[in-house]
Chains A and B, each alone.
Chain A
């Protein structure tokens, strides 16, 4: 976990298991991502690696789907055929997801972490929810114009 801000993008040290899904950044990708998660947990259960607890798996899925949904909704202009890639990885101490897209830079909204109980917001909850569900949520854009997200749930 002691990775520097940018090292996480390229480091595959300590990966016990990996599942990858590449596809169009469209709503159908979410169905495929849930299927990928099912395969990933099945592989985790059959491995000699650590077994994430049920609530750790649930939190990981919840945070991951929020960030993937944000990419599908906002990374590309409507009706453009953009791409998204997600790698799910098991380590001794964590499960992580590496998300890549080739869309516009992510700009964090100014109104982060709204007081949910006061305002009853109907949208804009995704990133804050991901941060609460996960242990790390990192974003970086590389010099080739790719966006990278690193999502971690510690075990």
Chain B
């Protein structure tokens, strides 16, 4: 199997797929890609299943060397890839020759991106998933210089997206509860106000927010109960913490609200220091948003085309190049 060798990477770099299921009852965090949409986008460009494992890059990025000829693709809301010093167009797979240096970077405006390898990453699964969970070591030791990452191989000719995938926009949508009754009624309105930004304390486990204090009605200790991705817990200091994929399975602080499943990836992409707005939606709206995210991911399958494909008029239209052209005739 062709391998990619890690040359340098920040601590936020890990291998992630859809996540690890059925072990939360034993205290095992589900882990999994922070942003499913861009994991799927990167994988599809190299002929892998949308939920296959890829390298998740956090702030700082990473450098690699290809051990043999290998198709790679990077996808994220704001990131850049170069192969042997040559800049690769966004959302485009690139063939790296043996020995080529691959540099992947997160650019300002986002927090995560996915580097997919030809056919998908082929590291050994651990309890049904290749996702790494740093705190427990499940899924393997953290990536370090010299780590060799095998690719399944057998990918297609390089592909590119006709139109880059995008998240929905607008406030991050939440559903109140499960412990909103631990707070005075105005607390949810405060949470949905303008005052919050992400602190620098942000990782795959959770993100601490900075802003108005959310006072508890009476006490902030509860007997531990289950936590989900997107739980917004409020410890004694009143500063909310959003729990994400590497969270613990149970916890003892009241959770005022929960980010809807469709918006976890979108929230995770907000860089530290940036403001965040929340808005309350209904369960039906949350389910509709989950269906749209699923459709968006399924739609990606048909949205990538071979790089070498001839530029048909339909493709030109799709690329939206026509708008700038007034005449096909050369000017006199």
A in complex with B: no
User: Which A residues lie at the B interface, using CB under 8 A?
Assistant: none
User: Which B residues lie at the A interface, using CB under 8 A?
Assistant: none
